[in-house]
Amino acid sequence: MMNSPAEQPLVVIEKLIKTYKMGGETLYALNDISLQIRRGEFLCIIGPSGSGKSTLMNMLGCLDYPSAGSYRLDGEEISKLGDNKLAHIRNSKIGFIFQSFNLLPKLTARQNVELPLVYRGVSSGKRKEMALAALDKVGLKDRSGHRPSELSGGQQQRVAIARALAGDPPILLADEPTGALDTKTGAEVMELIKALNKAGHTIILITHDPAVAKQAGRIITLQDGRIAEQGA
């Protein structure tokens, strides 16, 4: 009997390989990665520098193609899509949260949050409504008219999270989201991320910090491009 769409994993990766040629040698950034991620899961990917975390994040975020293997996102085979279709998938299925916030300095918080919706062709009035709703989720609706320079680091990361949330994508992909924050602010951001997960958002978080990783529901440890360990 086939699973219903709600029961099917959101992400299915099978025997994924990513290689690079360097000086006539083939280097394996990812080697035989198989992984499933359920809807509503909070998964953390951890590993030392050079373990393949960034490469796997690029694959999950549809920013790069695998050399071999399969990646299905929400039932769609990603590795066979062209660049335009891949860009559409990125914009509609994945909300990105970066370590360095990546906010545009001349835009207000609301305008920064609206950006993914502009690329989707959402009308001006609807964009504003959706952006304010996303800022409200992260507790910053009252700062919607402030520019990044008028916000603290923690507030900027909250704006970045609101931007990721704005179009209600199935996945929030967070790359070292607390890396540029002090300990207290980082803890507040992690509380927000956990609250979003409890509200039903699927979270994939990349980190090198064990204290951040242990807050996830499941941890995958990468070593030399392979999954070395996984568990709660």
Mean pLDDT of 137-161: 93
Q: Is the pLDDT of residue 38 over 60?
A: yes
Instruction: Identify the structural domains of the chain with CATH numbers, from first to last.
Output: 39-67+82-231 (3.40.50.300)
Q: Which residues pair with 220 in a beta bridge?
A: 45, 230
Nearest to 94, CA basis, from 204, 179, 14, 198: 204
**Pairwise CA distance, residues 51 & 170, whole Å:** 26
Q: Starting at the edge strand that comes first in sequence, how are the strands of the sheet with 76-77 ordered?
A: 25-37, 11-22, 68-73, 76-77
pTM of structure? 0.88
CA gap 95, 203 in Å, rounded: 10
Q: Taking the alpha carbons of 136, 115, 126, 75 in that order, is the dihedral positive or negative?
A: negative
SS3 assignment, position 108 = coil
pLDDT on residue 229: 83
Q: What is the mean pLDDT of residues 4-33?
A: 88
- Please write the tens of the pLDDT for every residue from 177-202: 888 888 898 898 899 999 999 989 99
Reply yes or no on whether the pLDDT at 5 is more than 80: no
Distance CA 207, CA 223 (A): 13
Q: Residue 6's pLDDT is what?
A: 53
50-108 tens-digit pLDDT? 899 989 999 999 988 899 999 999 888 988 888 888 888 888 889 998 888 889 999 99
- Residue 143: name the closest of 153, 131, 151, 154 by CA: 151
